[in-house]
Amino acid sequence: MARSGADRGTRQRRTTANHPLGLVPSQTPSRDHRARDRAPRSSRHLSRIRRAHGRARAPHTPHELSEPGAGTTHRERTLELLATLLLSIATVGIAWSGYQAARWSGIEARHYAEANTARTLANRASTAAGQDRLQDLLNFNRWLDASTQGNATLTRVYEARFRSEFRPAFQAWLLQDPLNNPAATPSPLLMPQYHPQEAALVNQLERKADRAFTGGRDATERTDAYVFSTVFFASVLFFAGISMRFAWLEMRIVVLGLGGLCLVYALIRVASLPIG
């Protein structure tokens, strides 16, 4: 103990000797020491502020994507399942209606193209039939002139130029003795035996064009019907989607009911339409 006291006395004398006037500085912490002591506390405070700010800016998860809490009732889950079912059926209905509308649109275009083609061919055949009829009329007039003049040679020449379609009508007309019978048919072209092939083709093409045009018109109506059904399927998507945003169960039931009515009407309408 005596030695320890002596050691402390020796250290005090050395310290005093190192300072002027023998004054020893006090042990009060300096400003730098206080700043270093405050630094850890300030850092901890900033860290807490940053953590609180991060929690405040954390993204909010929509309740549709979050796990059902303990407060979710069986009735709410049933309504959500019903809404999901409506969304699924409506999506399939929109896809089917769009596909059928595209199919009937193609059928419509094909029918109208066939109608245009048939009418074009009918116009050509009608022109050819008119030319053949005119030729038959000219040959008959020349034969008649030669016959009335008594020129048998020229009469046989013109008669040889008659078309095969004109000959049956001409022979039937001669049997009526038209040169002496006032009640005879005025011209072989008016005889029932006169049937030009081009004229028959014109009638056939006209009927074909009418059928094709009718088919195109029906296809247009079916295309419009399928497109119209997509409006109700889209309404089902709207009602079923917005129903999940309502916390009021009665309102959710009403909205789902409207979606269900639109779905039933759309399904009945689509089921009544023909498949393209």
- Answer yes or no: is 41 within a domain: no
Residue 201: strand, helix, or coil: helix
- Answer yes or no: is 88 within a domain: yes
pLDDT in tens, 45-94: 556 655 655 544 444 444 444 444 445 687 788 888 888 899 999 999 99
- Do the beta carbons of residue 97 and residue 237 sit within 8 Å? no
Domain count, the chain: 1
- Answer yes or no: is 80 within a domain: yes
- Answer yes or no: is 121 within a domain: yes
Which pTM does this prediction carry?
0.58
d(CA 240, CA 90): 9
- Do the beta carbons of residue 194 and residue 166 sit within 8 Å? yes
| Domain of 235, in residue numbers | 75-271
- Answer yes or no: is 24 within a domain: no
Measured between alpha carbons, how far apart are the two ends of the chain, in Å?
116
- Answer yes or no: is 45 within a domain: no
pLDDT in tens, 186-227: 889 888 888 888 888 899 999 999 999 999 999 999 999 999
- Answer yes or no: is 52 within a domain: no
